[in-house]
A and B are shown apart, each in its own frame.
Chain A
């Protein structure tokens, strides 16, 4: 479904230089309404429902009302993304069936990747035209 913004919860990310949802949307859909200071999904029929705006919103002000041409109303799928795991709560249209799942999302601390640490980088540029990466050789059979 296209993401929607709950007016009462959205504070327009006033503490930030741009709104979090506007920063992250891969399809440039989220905009800040200059008058209301609330975020808006400007092109709902181009929304991939990737949930990146939902996951990043510091106010949990964004949810999804699923594609109107496909899905009946009444269900909800809400993520809560932490630093190393994500928790999903899925409520069915019947309001009775509720599923809750928790999955890991990364095994290292955020921001800790140092992709050259521990590797000796080659300055023999003849190697550029040979197989292999700086992290290891290409496989041979």
Chain B
């Protein structure tokens, strides 16, 4: 039996003030993708006489995945590499199914965005005339040529270059603010619902959100929209059990809004079964890339055995054709074999790597190297440095444990969940006709664009690629607006009802709060934290979380879906005591829908495409005869039904 539905009739909570903003292009989100979109959109909007507005849940200077900073730019092609090789790397890492039109076009644009970062003031490490490494400030002081003029960056891997990135986001945000003007930026406004056109249900025409600072609703009316507010974090039970839950590897505030809101108005999603399980320094989640690639450290099982060397023949036999170059999920898989068979923990031998480097380096160089190792953490996951200090661990004296984390859903890192979008141009690189529908990075909803974590089937963009992709989406969106100037748009939704729906958690709390003596325990509602823990538990136990070592099967997924369906119903009884909790309530709602997409996609794809990220124990192999395809889903909010289809993968780059 379904729960009786509650409505907000403003009998118990006060109606908020409402501000309506008319704009042409609305940017929802303030991370790398939308700050990129802001500068590029404004470069065209000025001449076209268009207005561009950005709305961010937090403060633009420190929002999104780069809020803490970064120690490297992970996608910079450089003159020494070919774009085709970048595409080949992404295809290998994402197990053979990517949209190569999308990946190639990021590769063709990303270096320009990195050059712009350097112009704006991002310190990028460089090689000096003697081939010594200097930091980004010394590079300027010594007058080394900029990257755009042939200067050499310092590679930590083939595609990565090291930066002094504490203020990376501040710099990128400053450029966006400078382009837009502060009067066009709304901070601390959380968009939770999208509006569609009365005459065309498949056309976006606005968004509604609320201030997390004052009792006020914002209604934005627009001609086109770019939605890019990150991936999904905390949809699975994290390995931490208390305060450490905040130490998610990806930003803890990423709530799946990028997927849930477009899905609710019918935008198609692709490869939502994909996930990312980063193997990172345990608990602090410090990056391992520089240790593997730059310091040449080795990781072993608890008994000193190199698990890659030991297990690789087995991995090759299990996944023939996919293990010639070790992709991220298969490296995880090799480590997980050891963990399952009881030979964990997995150790990163930082001490041995440092000792080896000490053989050839001078004392001064070694000191510099030590600073680099600490900066790698301090720039992007400070807790990992704090963890070393709290355990009295010096990385040059002892090894550190690494571990595969809880799963994350995203489209910009080593993962490819997201929305199904149009490619850059008709038959781009020989793409099929069905991959282009008029405007670069437009979702299947007219006028609705995305970038970064939002674009599915094309990972390995990272910060720079997301910024570049935001700029590409901005051009697509401006072109769309100019081509549809005559359109008269009117929201199909009743705005008053949308607003009432948004504040329902206030109404519910005020209505029922006096029934029990403890506000946390009440049979009439759930608080956001309670919904979050239930979601995390069921996703963990039935949808291949850490506790089952990333293993699931059809019966477990079906049980998970049963529980998720009940949770989704219970989420209509979310209660909130203040604006902060109202934000949490809607974050949970977005997480539930994203989690449901993930679960249903895993159920649909009857194979194990991403071993080391998750396993279908009932279909442990990769099955190319049936599943070398994009899995595409669409959700109908009115009927609460999901539809699945597939689209063949096509290789465009040799």
- List chain A positions with a Cβ less than 8 A from chain B: 1-2, 23-28, 31, 42-52, 64, 66-77, 79, 81, 84-86, 88, 90-94, 97, 99, 101, 103-108, 110-116, 119, 121-123, 125, 128-129, 131-141
Judged by DSSP, the binding face of A is loop
Separation of A81 and B122 alpha carbons in the complex (Å):
16
What are 8 A-B interface contacts by the 8 Å CB criterion?
A: A24-B61, A26-B58, A97-B389, A99-B389, A103-B378, A107-B121, A115-B175, A139-B107
Do A106 and B179 touch across chains, with their CB atoms under 8 A apart? no
B360 within 8 A of A: no
Residues of A within 8 A of B375 (CB): 101, 103
Q: Which of B63-91 contact A (CB under 8 A)?
A: 63-64, 67-68, 77, 82-84
Docked CA distance A23–B63 (Å): 11
Q: A93–B40 contact, CB under 8 A? A: no
Contact at B389–A90, with CB atoms within 8 Å?
yes
Of the candidates A66, A90, A114, A135, the one whose C-beta lies within 8 Å of that of B112 is A135
In the bound complex, how far is the Cα of B173 from the Cα of A113, in angstroms?
A: 10
B171 on the A face (CB < 8 A): yes
Shortest Cβ distance from residue A4 to the other chain B in the assembled complex, whole angstroms: 11
Bound CA span A25–B251, Å = 12
Check B178 against A114 for contact (C-beta < 8 Å): yes
* Contact yes or no, A107 B136, CB < 8 A: yes
CB neighbors of A among B125-145 (8 A): 135-137, 140
Contact B240 A67 (CB under 8 A): yes
Q: Is the CB of B242 within 8 A of A68?
A: yes
User: Which among B111, B240, B252 is the interface contact of A70 at CB below 8 angstroms?
Assistant: B240
Q: Known contacts A49-B382, A90-B374, A99-B374; is A42 also within 8 Å of B580 by CB?
A: yes
- Counting chain B residues whose Cβ lies within 8 A of the other chain, the interface size class is 35 or more
In contact, B471 and A133 (Cβ under 8 angstroms): yes
Asked if B379 is an interface residue, CB under 8 A from chain A, the answer is yes
How would residues 274 to 290 of chain B score, 1 for a CB under 8 Å from any chain A CB and 0 otherwise? 00000000011000000
Q: Is the CB of B246 within 8 A of A93?
A: no
A28 and B583 in contact, given A51-B382, A92-B389, A105-B123 (Cβ under 8 angstroms): yes
A71 touches B386 (CB 8 A): yes
List the B side residues contacting A113 at CB < 8 Å.
Answer: 120-121, 171, 174-175, 178
Interface pair B44/A50, CB less than 8 Å apart: no
A101→B372 CA distance, assembly (Å): 9
Q: A48-B252, A115-B39, A140-B108 are in contact. Are A69 and B77 (CB under 8 A)?
A: no
Contact A97 B167 (CB under 8 A): no
Chain B: CB-nearest residue to A115: B175
Are A103 and B389 in touch, CB under 8 angstroms? Answer: no
Decide if B580 touches A28 in the complex (CB within 8 Å). yes
Given A23-B59, A135-B112: A129 touches B386 (CB 8 Å cut-off) = no
Using A48-B248, A141-B82 as known contacts, list a sample of 9 further A-B pairs with CB atoms less than 8 Å apart, ordered by residue number in A. Answer: A24-B59, A49-B382, A67-B283, A70-B243, A72-B391, A99-B389, A110-B174, A113-B174, A128-B475
A27 touches B243 (CB 8 A): no
The reply on B151 being an interface residue by CB < 8 A is no
Task: Tell me if A131 and B383 are in contact (CB < 8 A).
Answer: no
The chain A residue sitting closest to B439, CB to CB, is: A129
CB distance from A137 to the nearest CB of B (A): 8
Identify B68's interface contact among A1, A48, A91, CB under 8 A: A48
Residues of B within 8 A of A90 (CB): 374, 385-386, 389
CA distance A134 to B38 in the complex (A): 12
